[in-house]
Structure 1
């Protein structure tokens, strides 16, 4: 079906710009926890979206709507209660890391006291393959996401001030409180098409084309198709398609295809959804008998005590690694180069020598192995290694800087040369 209307200019207001800046800052703060090579996995999973190619059943006949009207409909959507099943498929084109993936996730879990139930350690699992999730929400204080596995289940539950993570396979529990950790959403893993659609739409600016391209039916509900495309060249993002529920304005499906073509990088959507109030018991949780319980707040306080300022060799206070001196340094401690879809985040790790060294199992040097996964590059900046996926690419230079973005290798090298 032909597009209803093209609306390349979304008329962003100054308030919209400030909101986008805040969103980008938060996204980069999350990205800081996953510096390459984990950045290649974690950033893509945490900032872009995930899911499945679901067959649409027919093109329902709906009233015409403009792109701006559909964006407004999403923004005004106030669905507080829902439950359903989401299928997520992700194809970032990552190499087979064998047992290293588990080791990296175990390392990430150290921030939660080494618990396999720590939500942070689960992000990398959603960065590849196909997953089935059950989701439920009842207002801002009650949400639940369960990742269904073969013979096991991982659940993340937010109920009031409590945040629980439970891994049935290991019978381990992770617990923290929203009051102590700041915000419950710090522990939440994006799981629904709306999570991902919100991230994309807050970033829409004059570098973006937005159109309505027909209708679809997803999970038995009539929907409009909203298509978001970068106007810029050099980005790895080809197009993003969002199926928006015609009645509630809730995104039902999110599909991101790369500029290189081929299958979707991430494709997520409901296979079943209900907007009825979930049972109160859905959000109840008591640690099972014999389960190992890790209090995340206590584990995190020690880490937070070490953050912030340090001392240099002269004994003077210095800012934490990652601070920049450019005038466009944002609140998160990143320099941000470029604009829109060509934005590149720059982090100075303060660690010389390029690809980080370490051990996945307590012995041996990983630098050679990790280096073999990337492409060596050189330029005015010196030498470095580029780690590539079908979406997020990252350059680690030998002087300790990391350049990350949804851009091609040439753009990263150019940014490093300019920096």
Structure 2
């Protein structure tokens, strides 16, 4: 059963049907620091999990700050702080405004220096609006929201949903220190992988002591104490927002693109990428996909086309690796490793390179 079904308070702000992969936060990292540790009644980890499961949320609005330092290589066309383009938010810090008035009324606004990008759901209607370009995309959902698998979380609630899905015998669960987040007292739930091949050291979820919803989410890599990814409220109001917040009327001159993306159906992958499979479970699972174009580029250095040239340029800057599984290139980050093999496979996971080599050998 989906965590959305068992934890209603966690599903309020999942971007439904919209391609939303937002990272960052618009204030200094110090914004995430807690005030003096509040004195709260003692609660066990089991009680906090029950709190998350039974919480009921009628509505809220607030400001969310996100920061990501995943160790990603620099890529052309990827913006940083101050950008309001959804595709630019793979690193750095950014600010978002959020509104929620039920599972079918949500709004997320990514704030940039020169504009903002809004993702708005009102019933079955979903709008993505780029204020700077004055463009809007409208689609209609069919069915209940299912989220978008594999994308990076936008809010503490969505991040917590993804993390709690991994709570099984492979996870050590404990209670951390209490904290003050956005002026509210919070308990801290700590999740730690038991398998040392995971790059994740621990995940911490700050839970509102009164409303029982996540206020802050942090991921700390193995061997460090500094989060590589964190998302937190800096201001929050639990009053139900005005319905007008979810009504979007395109401004004059807006270029509107109409389309339908029925919810519950997987988004199409490019023709040259076969649908990926997952090897293993929990923290050490590895996603494996066949990408024939990688093999072609590896075999023929003179492959024609701008796309092939860009791929050669990216691959050429990555370290070469080899083993019983074959040869290829490796990408390492603070919370992930990716292996691109010369026979046209891509393996990605929050695991060590050795784990990827093992999976690459077993899936040849």
- Fold match by TM threshold 0.5: yes
- In structure 1, stretches of 5+ residues that fail to align are 1-14, 21-29, 35-41, 103-116, 311-319, 324-332
Q: Name the counterpart of 2:9.
A: none
1:337 aligned to which of 265, 279, 282: 279
Does residue 178 (structure 1) correspond to residue 144 (structure 2)? The answer is no
User: Is the 1:163–1:184 Cα contact (8 Å) retained in structure 2?
Assistant: no
Distance 2:273 2:72 in 1: 28
Are positions 1:414 and 2:358 aligned together?
Answer: yes
Deviation at 1:338, TM superposition (A): 2.9
Report the CA distance between 1:368 and its aligned residue.
3.0
Q: CA RMSD in A?
A: 3.6
Q: Does 1:261 align with 2:219?
A: no
The structure that is helix-richer by fraction is: 1
Q: Which residue of 2 aligns with 1:399?
A: 343
Aligned residues: 338
Counterpart of 1:347 (choices 277, 289, 305) is 289
Q: Distance in 1 between matches of 2:40 and 2:296?
A: 55
State which of 37, 54, 57 in structure 2 corresponds to 1:59: 37
Q: Distance in 2 between matches of 1:412 and 1:235?
A: 11
> Given the superposition, is the C-alpha separation of residues 196 and 377 from structure 1 closer, same or farther in structure 2, using an over 3 Å criterion?
same
Which of 91, 95, 106 is the equivalent residue of 1:132?
95
Distance 1:233 1:215, change over 3 A: same
Return structure 1 stretches of 4+ with deviation > 6 angstroms.
354-359
Q: Deviations over 1:111-164 (max 9, x none)?
A: xxxxxx9xxx72x42320100000000001100000010021111100011100
8 Å CA contact retained: 1:348, 1:402:
yes
**Residue 195 of structure 1: which of 154, 158, 161 is its match?**
158
Q: Equivalents in 1 of 2:172, 2:269: separation in Å?
A: 40
Going from structure 1 to structure 2, the CA distance change for 1:379 and 1:285 (only over 3 Å counts) comes to same
For residues 355 and 209 of structure 1, the distance between their equivalents in structure 2, rounded to whole angstroms, comes to 43
TM-score, normalised on structure 2? 0.82
Q: Which residue of 2 aligns with 1:163?
A: 126
Following the alignment from structure 1 to structure 2, what is the Cα–Cα distance between the partners of residues 71 and 182? Answer: 25
| Residues 50/406 of structure 1: CA separation in 2 closer, same or farther (3 Å cut) | farther
Deviations along 1:297-333, whole A, 9 cap, x unmatched? Answer: 28x9xx98x889x9xxxxxxxxx9646xxxxxxxxx5
Gaps of 5+ in 2: 7-15
After TM superposition, give the deviation of residue 414 of structure 1 in Å: 1.8
Once the two structures are TM-superposed, the CA of residue 165 in structure 1 deviates from its matched residue by: 0.6
SS in 2 for 1:70: helix
SS at match of 2:295: coil
Question: Equivalences for 1:10-409 in 2 at 5 Å?
Answer: 54-97=32-75, 99-101=76-78, 122=86, 124-179=87-142, 183=145, 185-186=147-148, 190-261=153-224, 263-297=226-260, 322=274, 334=277, 336-351=278-293, 353=295, 362=306, 365-409=309-353
d(CA) in 2 for partners of 1:358 and 1:242? 50
Q: Is contact 1:178-1:184 (8 Å) kept? A: no
Structure 2 match to 1:6: none
For residue 276 of structure 1, report the CA deviation from its aligned partner: 0.3
